Structure 1
Amino acid sequence: MDTYTAFAGHVRIATGPLPKVALVLKHAAPTTAPITIFSDRTGHPIDLDLRGSDREIVARLPADAGAAADPPASEPRGRGRPKLGVVAREVTLLPQHWEWLNAQPGGASVALRKLVHEARRANGDNDRAREARDAAYHFMSAIGGHLPQFEEASRALFAGDLERFAARVADWPADIRDHAVALAHRHRAD
């Protein structure tokens, strides 16, 4: 389940699943500091509507927030193949690529799924490292772009030098520094 972190200015208020963070914010003491909520997976800030009752707030949370809302009522299943989350999108390939794909057992869709699965397995560590780096960068750009040594910290982050990155953010406010470093190192714990 995705986690989110809320800050009041430079102070971390809450971390956890979105419903928990939203309700902590709803019931927190008022503050004049700007409140910002970040997705720990992407590092991007998100907006929440905290008006109304706890139940109303949780019901309005985005659907991709895991178990944020009550599960939808089960719809009766019609005839045909079950919906397995398959999404049709356009893929542009050269004719020889389509010929090869169509000649594979199961056709183009099965071959593409196998190729994607194999690539994800083979590149998983690199993908997780890139996602962690990008999340750390998005977070620190949104909340700490004005902080000292931001540019040097960014260069170290993109160079993959996490020791130098930690050294460059060492003088930042503790909660921002700790969260940026945790996001950058996140792929190692996955």
Structure 2
Amino acid sequence: MDETFTAFEGARRVAQGTRAALTKALRAKGFGPGAALLVFSDLTGRETDLDLSAPPAPPADAPPRGRGRPKLGVRAKEVTLLPRHWEWLASQRGGASATLRRLVEEAIRQPNPAARRDAAYAFCTAIAGDLPGYEEAMRALYAGEGFAGAVAHWPDDVRAHALWLAGAPEGSTPQP
């Protein structure tokens, strides 16, 4: 599962998708280097940079690839575990790598209210920190009630994205 990002031009949501898909969509809409965009991680709510310059041509004499399965996007990393952990992993269906992947995927699917709240806070601080009612909205976000009402007067796209990040039932993020 690839991380997704959302781009805003002012208070208007422009596009959303994986880093590669978002870059392609923004280039197609005519945005280039230096565009007045704010791009946010949908996982953390933090602002991030996006390279909108033309993709460089691959070098003709590219060095050989390292370990891993690059066609699948897999890169070799190192994991340090105790011997009993390795024994348990080895006894699982599919071996250590398959079991670790399953465990990570299960953990990713579990909602984490604290992480969602923190993502909404990071997003709101960056894009809505100067909007009326910001402080009250952040208090409501962390109190766990009244957030939707506190942001009701915010611009539509900012409000919808903040609610979606926070996991509020009223929040939805329609595709731009």
TM range (shorter): 0.5 to 0.7
2:31–2:52 CA contact under 8 A, matched in 1:
no
Conservation of the 8 A alpha-carbon contact between 1:9 and 1:33 = no
In the superposition, the TM-score normalised over structure 1's length comes to 0.60
The structure having more radius of gyration, on CA atoms, is: 1
Instruction: Give me the TM-score of the superposition, normalised by structure 2.
Output: 0.65
Residue equivalent to 2:78: 86
Question: Displacement of 1:136 after TM fit?
Answer: 0.5
User: Does residue 157 of structure 2 align to residue 175 of structure 1?
Assistant: yes
The letter of the residue matching 2:130 is H
Per-residue displacement from partner, 1:151-185 (whole Å, max 9, x unpaired)?
11101111122xx1010101101000000001101
Give the distance between the partners of 1:108 and 1:29, measured in 2 at CA. Answer: 51
Alpha-carbon displacement from aligned partner over 1:96-126 (angstroms, at most 9, x marks no partner): xxxxxx8xxx458889xxxxx7xx97xx55x
Q: Deviations over 1:28-56 (max 9, x none)?
A: 2459982011000000011122112xx43
Letter in 1 for 2:67: E
Per residue, is there more helix in 1 or in 2?
A: 1
User: What residue number does 1:45 align with?
Assistant: 47
Unaligned runs of 5+ in 2: 59-63, 69-74, 89-102, 170-176
Unaligned runs of at least 5 residues, structure 1: 60-71, 77-82, 90-101, 112-116
Q: CA deviation at 1:74?
A: 5.9
How many angstroms apart in 1 are the aligned matches of 2:67 and 2:38?
37
Is the counterpart of residue 141 in structure 1 residue 125 in structure 2?
yes
Letter of the 2:13 counterpart: R
SS of residue in 1 equivalent to 2:153: coil
Shift of 1:24: 1.6
C-alpha distance in 2 between matches for 1:186 and 1:153: 13
Query: Identical aligned pairs, as a percentage?
Result: 38
The aligned residue for residue 2 of structure 1 is 3
Report deviation, 1:27. Answer: 2.5
Cα 1:84/1:22, change in 2 over 3 Å: closer
Residue aligning to 1:99:
none
